[in-house]
Amino acid sequence: MSKIKNICCIGAGYVGGPTMAVIAAKCPEIKVTIVDLNAARIAAWNDENLDNLPVYEPGLDAIVAQARGRNLFFSTEVEKAIDEAEMIFISVNTPTKTYGLGKGKAADLKFIELCARQIASVAKSDKIVVEKSTLPVRTAEAIRSILDNTGNGVKFQILSNPEFLAEGTAIDDLLHPDRVLIGGDSDEEGQEAIDALVNIYANWIPTERILTTNVWSSELSKLTANAFLAQRVSSINAMSELCEKTGADINEVARAIGMDSRIGSKFLKSSVGFGGSCFQKDILNLVYIAKSYGLDEVADYWEQVIIMNDHQKRRFAANIVKTLYNTVSGKKITFLGWAFKKDTNDTRESAAIYVADDLLLEQANIAVYDPKVEETQIHADLDYLDTRRKKENRKGVTTFNDPYEAVKDAHAIAVLTEWDEFKGYDWQRIYDNMKKPAFVFDGRNLLDGQKLREIGFVFQSIGK
């Protein structure tokens, strides 16, 4: 296949939007069209006010401004973009199944299959189809089966190109990745397809950082990477509970083991638990795959990472209730942060959702301030857990645009996201306007506990 001139990406979410924006910015000679059936989302990507982009990532607005209207386009005309493209990225959601076989563990591939069938029905010329979504091993085989049985004579090459983005640093991750992984077939046509994608990334990424493998290795590498990272978080969180019982300081323990070159310091920050769209979903997928092959011990090993993470969230909520004299009924608890991590507006699997759910069951009144998360998203997150309690959720949760209003008359503050701005607040002013005694539960080990205690707060953090 000759040099790629036209790319289509199906899915304008947290992966598709930033990834394609960077490709367009770095490859001005390639037309990049991002399509999505969600008209409101596409309208937000096209909004002249870059503050209204549907995905918040530091630096994304500048990248979009550079390429949008030149060679970067956002559209709801899915079939037109598929027809014109030589390379099609599939970047749609692959949530954990909530029904049927594999419920609660397997990836739900219905959106992937719909994409494949739409590509098959529209394509009139040969295409390279790139898996960008996080998928189970051997999903490419299913996609190939659909595409190769259209009967219209079109040839397809299937590549796996998993993303390794961390939300909050996605643009830097795209501009300066540790590696880019591309999996494809080993025959001549497969290698040509791999080379076509390698040549796109080589516009700004050193070729020694672009790894090529077979499709299956590429698919499994994504799941494995997220499983290893999540395992580190759950491991340090398991030790945090032991630290609290023994009088050790989890930060000192993490620093000590992190200086071991064999271990390293990354992902050793104890917290209320990991969230986001990848870690839990990918580990559950790995568990399901292992069980499907009869590898029960392997499945049990990885499932324990999820069990530990859930325990950490529930333990945090239980500690708030216990410390507030075993009742939070009618008490105002202010959440600082709702996003699953700083520098993103993504709330998927955020610890805040589960902590709030537990406290609402205890009849607490929850006040929420997050600099990037909208009120509608906060309510939607809670409703998703239990739609039967929709009315109670609305009554029990209030959102604020001003952090000082959010903490006024609160009995306690729970820090659930590590937003940098929280460290710069006037904490004396906050203390003066809270109920006494005033409690701070730092779920991210973000704040200066000694300083807050000197002001008068009752301060607790994870693992100390």
Give the residue numbers marked as catalytic: 278
Residue 187 dihedral angles phi and psi, to the nearest 5°:
-75, 175
Give the helix/strand (H/E) hosting 280: helix 279-292
Which residue carries 């959720």 as its tokens?
393
Report whether 133 contacts 112 (CB < 8 A).
yes
Using alpha carbons only, what angle is made at residue 406 by residues 332 and 251, rounded to the nearest 5 degrees?
85
Task: Please give the full DSSP string across 396-424, using - where no structure is assigned.
Answer: HEEE-SSHHHHHTT-SEEEE-S--GGGGG
Contact 124, 94 (CB under 8 A): no
Please name the helix (run of DSSP H) or strand (run of DSSP E) that holds residue 430, with its range, or none. Answer: helix 427-432
Asked whether 91 and 9 are in contact (CB, 8 A), the reply is yes
Cα–Cα distances (Å) from 451 to 1, 248, 286, 404, in that order, read 63, 20, 43, 19
Residue 36 — φ and ψ, nearest 5°?
-160, 145
